[in-house]
Amino acid sequence: MDPPARFSIRHRQYHDDSSSEDYSDINVEKLSRDPDGSQMEMLPLTSNADGDGHFAPSSKLPLSDVLEDEFHTEDWKQQLEDFLFPPHLPRSCQLLRPENIAVPMCYLLVGLLQGLSSPLVNVFPLDLGATPAQQTSISGIRSLPATFKLLFGFMSDNLPIMGYRRKPYMFFGWLLASLSLFFLMANSNLSIESRGAGCFKADSEIIEEDSDRIPEDAPSIGFFSICLFGFGMGFWVADVMGDSIVAEKAKLEPESSRGSIQSSCYSYRFFGMMMAAPLSTVLYSYAGPYYVILLLSILPLCILPLVYLLYEDTKTPPPSTRNQCQEIWNTVCSRAAWQPMAFVYIYNVMQVGNAAWREFLVSTLHFTTCQLNMILIVTLVLLYLGIICYKYFFITWSWRNVYIVTTLMNGFFSLLQILLIKGITFGISNFFFALGDDAFAEFISGIQFLPTTIMMVNLCPSGSEGASYAMFTTVNNSALTLSSALSTVLLRIWDVSKNALQDGRLQGMINLTYLTTASQVGAIAFVGFLPHYKEDLISLGTDSQKSVVGGSVFLLITFSSILYSIYVSICNIWFSE
């Protein structure tokens, strides 16, 4: 049992004429008691009234006031220390300790870099003259290395460097991310005038697209994509190392606080995203892309000293690659894994977006880069609010019901885009109407985020959490990447080219929106693969039946999706007209 909390009182003289009791003959004592007041002990305290340990006769001390008003909390320094280093967690799980601080800072840096790079990737390809297919592919290239997370996890597990399995890979990951963008800065001219510095400039004030805006030595679409891919490789290697460390530390948490490390790290990440996105928007709108890329290059270097201080156990021998592969194979052959992950994969693949939407906003509605990024900022905020809403309001809901309700809501907001294309906005400005469509769709995605991660964590077998979680996130990321690639393929069905949108020929845009909305809503047809609750998922895990065919199909589709996404991205970047 913890020792009783100590409280101290200040000496004070009371002159309460309404009290008939005189405590002048009572020695003043300091009281200590348990928080519930059930126990007390008397500790002598010297009075300064008359020097003999007694109060002066004129002093009257109401005892009830002493008990109720004069107990103070423990020293503020102790409170601060308990806040920074929660005493209920073992030292290895106290993330703000000097030897652990690199872990939360890694998640914070991930959020900062995502927040800084998202507005850049959102508008910079437009300024370089990218086609709609190239714009979508460039956005996917930044996250394409996330589909290799399983490979990164296996490398760190089985190929330690100087006995360390995480530190060197995290160090070199952030270094690669930084050097890739420094290489971009050193070999191209980034002094490109923005499409419009203000967020709400009149159409006549928007800078026209001509050859004078883009210098001759500006980066080509291909060169920018290569540098962005190198940045993404380093970024995701470091991110996987952070996830692996958190997975290891989570096993050391007390049962009563299980999950606190993960929730803390995600809070750092989303905080960084929300803070960095507005900064990136302002920098790009008023100073162009140079300073945004400079900041993206410098920030990864700032964490390297903290990575050096990171404590890592070097005495534990690395696991056998053969054994790890066998555990992964046994996991994917289990119905508890392939059935719900089949839903996750199919659902994400069918969330095909309208790849011409951004071009429509610019070419038809004449949105400025600042307006595009303001939409992005608001969507990031609502994404976080969606996660918070699930945590506090929907966490008791059935997973199936969450997906059914949110998918139908997403279909409704997708159809609202048809009204914007036709110019029916009910007196609302085009900007705020588009903002509502995109922002609330992302809010819905935020509600769906936590059920997926909770399910993935519960699927991980004991002793192989790192590699298993990396595999399940690879499935999720490969499906999203394939969905992005398919969205560029759909651009060929109808004429949604830049010239068509500028000329006001919008029927192809309307048809494409109907098609993508139908695909997104149609995904709920597979919701039966998803368990209702965590208990149902656990009950599936007790089924000893294994399916070699199910596991084989699961892995084949996952890795085929990765290869196809890479192929489509390369074709869009280098062979798209």
Residue extent(s) of CATH 1.20.1250.20 domains in the chain: 94-318, 332-577
pLDDT value at residue 208: 47
Classify domain 332-577 by CATH architecture. Up-down Bundle (1.20)
pLDDT value at residue 128: 82
Output the CA–CA distances (angstroms, integers) from residue 555 to 389, 550, 552, in the order listed. Answer: 34, 9, 5
**How many whole angstroms separate alpha carbon 65 and alpha carbon 559?**
72
pLDDT value at residue 22: 45
CATH code of 94-318, in short, is 1.20.1250.20
40: which strand partners? 33
Helix 260-287 × helix 369-389 angle, to 10°: 170
Q: What secondary structure, in 3-state letters, does 453-484 show?
A: HHHHHHHCCCCCHHHHHHHHHHHHHHHHHHHH
pLDDT value at residue 470: 73
pLDDT value at residue 304: 93
**How many whole angstroms separate alpha carbon 370 and alpha carbon 391?**
32
In three-state secondary structure terms, 4 is coil
DSSP state of 315: S
**How many whole angstroms separate alpha carbon 197 and alpha carbon 200?**
9
**How many whole angstroms separate alpha carbon 421 and alpha carbon 436?**
14
Which is nearest to 377 in space by CA: 466, 279, 296? Answer: 279
With contact defined as beta carbons under 8 Å apart, do 479 and 505 qualify? no
Token digits for 180? 């890739």
Contacts of 494 (CB under 8 A, 6+ apart): 507, 508, 509, 511, 512
pLDDT value at residue 573: 64
Token digits for 252? 């050391």
pLDDT value at residue 41: 43
**How many whole angstroms separate alpha carbon 240 and alpha carbon 376?**
25
pLDDT value at residue 284: 85
Which is nearest to 574 in space by CA: 127, 123, 138? Answer: 138
Helix 221-250 × helix 548-575 angle, to 10°: 150
Q: Which amino acid is at 443?
A: F
Stated as kind and residue range, the H or E segment containing 40 is strand 40-44
- CA 425, 194, 574, 182 dihedral sign is negative
Average pLDDT across each block of 10 residues of the chain; the chain has 577 residues. List them in order. Answer: 39 41 42 44 44 46 48 62 66 74 90 89 82 75 78 80 86 95 90 57 45 71 90 91 79 62 76 86 84 94 91 73 76 79 88 85 83 81 81 81 89 85 86 78 79 74 64 79 83 87 88 90 89 75 69 81 72 61
